Amino acid sequence: MTKEQIQELTLRTSQANHSGLILVLTDMVHIYMSDAIEAYSLGSAEPFEKNLEMARRSTNELISCFDRRDPLGYRVSSILRFVYQKLNNSVLIGAPDELDRCLKIVDNLKVGLEHLHEIDTEGPVMKNTHQVYAGLTYGKGTLNESVQGVDYSTRGYKA
C-alpha cells in the first residue's frame, strides 16, 4: 500500500459513518490482495507474505462487521469467510490460491455495500475530528487539503 493510499484511507476513516468504514475495509482488502498478487508475480516472497497477512487481518475485521444472525449478514460473512480461507491457503502454499477470483468477489460485494452506503444517513463515527476541505490552489495542479475552523480546546483527552 502506498503512502498516498494510506493517507486517502485515513482521511476517509476520519470522516466516515459505519457503512463508510465497511467500504474502507473493503478497499483495504482489495489493495492488499492486489499488492500480494503483484509481489508474487515479481518473485518477492516477503512482500507477498506481508500483504497476505494484512489482507487476512482486514478480511477478518470485515467479517466481524456483519451480524450472522441476520440472513443477509450471514450470506455476506460466508462469502468473506471463503475469501479468508483462500488467503489462508495462499499463505500455506506460498502462492496465490484463486486470489484473482477473490478480488472479483470483493469488488462485486463492494458494489452492494456502496448502495447501502448511499442510503445510510448516519453521521460520522468519529465526532471530534477536523473537517477537511480539498481544492486546487496556486500550486502546479496539486491538490492541497486544509483544515479550517479548528478549535483545539475540544480535542484530545482531559485529565
Kindly report which listed range (30-44, 50-64, 82-96, 129-143) carries the lowest average pLDDT score: 129-143
Q: Write the pLDDT tens digit of every residue in 102-142.
A: 999 999 999 998 988 888 787 776 666 656 555 444 555 66
Flag whether 148 is in a domain: no
CA distances in angstroms from 106 to 44, 148, 152, listed in the order given: 24, 36, 39
Q: What's the number of domains the chain is made of? A: 1
Note whether residue 141 is domain-resident.
no
CATH number (domain holding residue 62): 1.20.120.340
Give the confidence band of 25 by pLDDT, cuts at 50, 70, 90. very high
Torsion of CA 126, 127, 133, 134, to 10 degrees: 0
pLDDT of 39 above 90: yes
Strand partners, 143: 136
Domain ranges, residue 57: 3-119
**Cα end-to-end span (Å), the chain:** 37
